[in-house]
Amino acid sequence: MANYADFQIGLYLAGLGGELPAYPLTFAGLEAAAQAKMEHRLWDYVAGGAGDEHTQRANVAAFERWGILPRMLSGAAERDLSVELFGHRLPAPVLMAPIGVLGVMTDDGHGDLAAAAASASSGIPMIASTLMQDPLEEVAAALGDTPGFFQLYTPNDREVAESLVRRAEAAGFRGIVVTLDTWTLGFRPRDLQHATFPQLRGACLANYFSDPVFRSRLAASPEDDPGAATLHWAMTFGNPTLTWDDLAWLRDLTDLPLLLKGIGHPDDVRRAKDEGVDGIYCSNHGGRQAASAPALELLPAVVDAADGLPVLFDSGVRSGADVIKALALGATAVGIGRPYGYGAVLGGTAGIEFVLSCLLAEADLTMGLNGYAGIAELTREVLLRC
């Protein structure tokens, strides 16, 4: 059982010895430091979102409207944050959400490997994006004993999708997360302003360029003609015609746990269950895709409709207290997005480890100080609308 609160004691002890934290401890601090360090176009791509960006601001505000009811003298000195997910015991109900541009966010240009190393050392699972700078096999190998998940963007070429899933299985990923909310790119003014879109410039396409089926579609190899390979990726990346009728095909692709990311409506949850899906991932993509999509507000109804199926949640999680709130609203585990991305910018593996340690220490202390000793005690009744 990990004792996450000890991280705080370690910070004080190091500080008393004159060694102050290497990275900021708040999301606002991480954001400011990452912005100062990043090339401004990449910053706008990562920090930005759909439309006027009220959606991503609303994601954060939704957490602020909940308080946690305090219970005193309840015996929460020893706490257990661990949870079971698809047969794996996780040290805490937290995962690294897929960030398709992570590869180019670290100094060395291997951000996916940095996240995998942080996953290996922390036990916090990584959901590896289809859009990586290093091939999925290398990323999987760097995960050590920590279970990893592969996020699939379903190309409009079914055989490429099948090949990616086969490779993810062979590499040892423990589940496939199919993202449904990005069949085309959202309207992102900050990104459009500079036409950054890193993938259109050939970045983070290693899983495609290393894929035998994708390569078989090209007249020249990606090494010989990266421009043509990138153009082919752009033409085949999304599949706007994918519907529920294709779910049977997706389900048959793998025996691994299959999760659908971007689900927010209870009817879609029920349909997903009918199609044999193993988990629901409620998310509005961090406000980057459909403008005005709610996120946290949708979680309780999604959990009710899931009726026992695991529900992951992300979008707007900025602190350990946010993790506790999402769990209390019924999430089985919570995805961290931009916060660990900024950790990667600032310090690669060490930066990600630091951000996760802060989040987990805060989650642990928030749970304990409010009088709850275990995840099972976090129900809707512990929250108060403020």
Q: In the complex, which residues of this chain contact ligand 173 (CB under 6 A)?
A: 100, 131, 182, 185, 199, 285, 288
Q: Does 325 bind ligand FMN (CB under 6 A)?
A: no
Site pattern 163..202 for ligand FMN (x: CB under 6 A): ----------------x-----------------------
Asked if 131 touches ligand FMN (CB under 6 A), the answer is yes
Residue 43 near residue 371, CB atoms below 8 Å: no
Q: Greatest CA span in the chain, whole angstroms?
A: 70
Residue list, annotated binding site for FMN: 98-100, 129, 151, 179, 261, 283, 314-318, 337-338
Question: If contact means CB under 5 to 8 A according to the sort of partner, which of ligand FMN, ligand 173, none does residue 199 touch?
Answer: ligand 173
Q: Out of ligand FMN, ligand 173, none, which partner does residue 261 contact, by CB within 5 to 8 A per kind? A: ligand FMN
User: Residue 10 corresponds to which tokens in the numbers above?
Assistant: 């370690």
Check residue 337 for interaction with ligand FMN (CB under 6 A): yes
Decide if residue 133 touches ligand FMN (CB under 6 A).
Answer: no
User: Which of ligand FMN, ligand 173, none is residue 215 near (CB under 5 to 8 Å by kind)?
Assistant: none
DSSP-assigned letter for residue 97: P
Type of residue at 332: T
- Cα–Cα nearest to 201, from 244, 231, 240: 231
Q: How far is the CB of 185 from ligand 173 (least distance, A)?
A: 6
State the DSSP H helix or E strand holding residue 152, giving kind and residue range, or none if neither. Answer: strand 149-152
**For tokens 């590499």, what's the residue?**
171
- How far is it, in rounded angstroms, from Cα 250 to Cα 268? 16
State whether the Cα torsion 204-199-129-339 is positive or negative.
Answer: positive
Interaction partner, residue 119 (ligand 173, ligand FMN, none; CB < 5-8 Å by kind)? none
Q: Is 265 a catalytic residue?
A: no
Distance CA 265, CA 370 (A): 31
Distance CA 80, CA 62 (A): 26
Q: Which two tokens stand for residue 183?
A: 């069949």
Among 46, 81, 299, 327, binds ligand FMN (CB under 6 A): 46
User: Which positions are annotated as active-site residues?
Assistant: 285
Instruction: Using CB under 6 A, list all residues that contact ligand FMN.
Output: 46, 56, 59, 97-101, 129, 131, 151, 179, 261, 283, 285-286, 288, 314-317, 335, 337-338
